[in-house]
Amino acid sequence: MSLTTVILIVVLVLACAYAVSLYNGLVRLKHGVSKAWSNIDVLLKQRHDELPKLVETCKQYMQYEASTLERVIAARSAVASAREQHDVGALGKAESGLRAGLGQLFALAENYPELKANQSFQHLQQRISGLENAIADRRELYNESVNLNNVRIEQFPDLIIARLFNFGAAELLVFSEAEKADVDIRSLFN
């Protein structure tokens, strides 16, 4: 065997090892996105299960606020539908609606001292607020995972492996402009 043949074999082996390394890195990123989505999904499911309890507790005190309660229930359904379909775009919109409804519900609760004093309401409000914070943290992690994945599949030479094995871009979880706008606290208490 000549020196040229040995060098050629070594170069081919190194090229194959490099391609395998790139492929494995892309697989790791793809599964990182899936894992981050699953973490969000768990928290959304927990919140989904808590919201009917909150609405039921509020119904006992807030007979005149039916439209607010109905908005929360409708938004809950929209979030559940988007979550089940893994539709990140629809989830962002539905989350905006749900957060607005919950914000209004908690603000209206200020007008009902008996409701605010109810231990069940206090517990549910704290539980949902805690879940909201956890969901926000997981969203940040999800979007970071998506960003890493999307950047990597567009970089050379990863791009070659990504196209060859159909690695696709993932969708960022984004929110409406209303979700990102400053909250007008005065309007919540009027």
- pLDDT tens digit sequence for 135-180: 989 999 999 999 999 999 999 999 999 999 999 999 988 876 554 4
Give one word for 143, left, alpha or beta, with left for phi > 0 and alpha for psi -120 to 50: alpha
Cα 153 from Cα 89, distance rounded (Å)? 21
Task: Judge whether 103 and 181 are in contact, CB under 8 Å.
Answer: no
Mean pLDDT calculated for residue range 97-104: 87
Q: How many Å separate Cα 22 from the centre of its chain?
A: 27
Average pLDDT over residues 100-125: 84
Using alpha carbons, list the distances in angstroms from residue 100 to 23, 46, 179: 42, 19, 8
Tell me whether the omega of the peptide bond preceding residue 157 falls within 30 degrees of 0, making it cis: yes
**Calpha distance 161→150 (Å, rounded):** 13
pLDDT at residue number 181: 47
Is domain 16-188 given the CATH code 3.40.50.300 in the classification?
no
Residue 183, pLDDT above cutoff 50:
no
CA distance 46 to 43: 5
User: Chain centroid to CA 140: how far?
Assistant: 8
Q: List the structure tokens of 62.
A: 């807030």
d(CA 131, CA 47): 6
What pLDDT is stored for residue 176 in this prediction? 64
- pLDDT given at position 184: 47
Per-residue tokens: 94: 């539905």
Q: What is the largest CA-CA distance in the chain?
A: 91
The pTM for the full model equals 0.76
Share of the chain above pLDDT 70, in %: 92
Which of the pair, 112 or 4, is modelled with greater confidence?
4
| Average per-residue pLDDT for the chain | 86
Q: Which 8-state DSSP code applies to residue 2? A: -
Report DSSP letters for 149-179, one per residue. Answer: HHHHHHSTTHHHHHHHTT--PPPP----HHH
**CA atoms 135, 140, 144, 149: torsion sign:** positive
Per-domain boundaries in the chain:
16-188
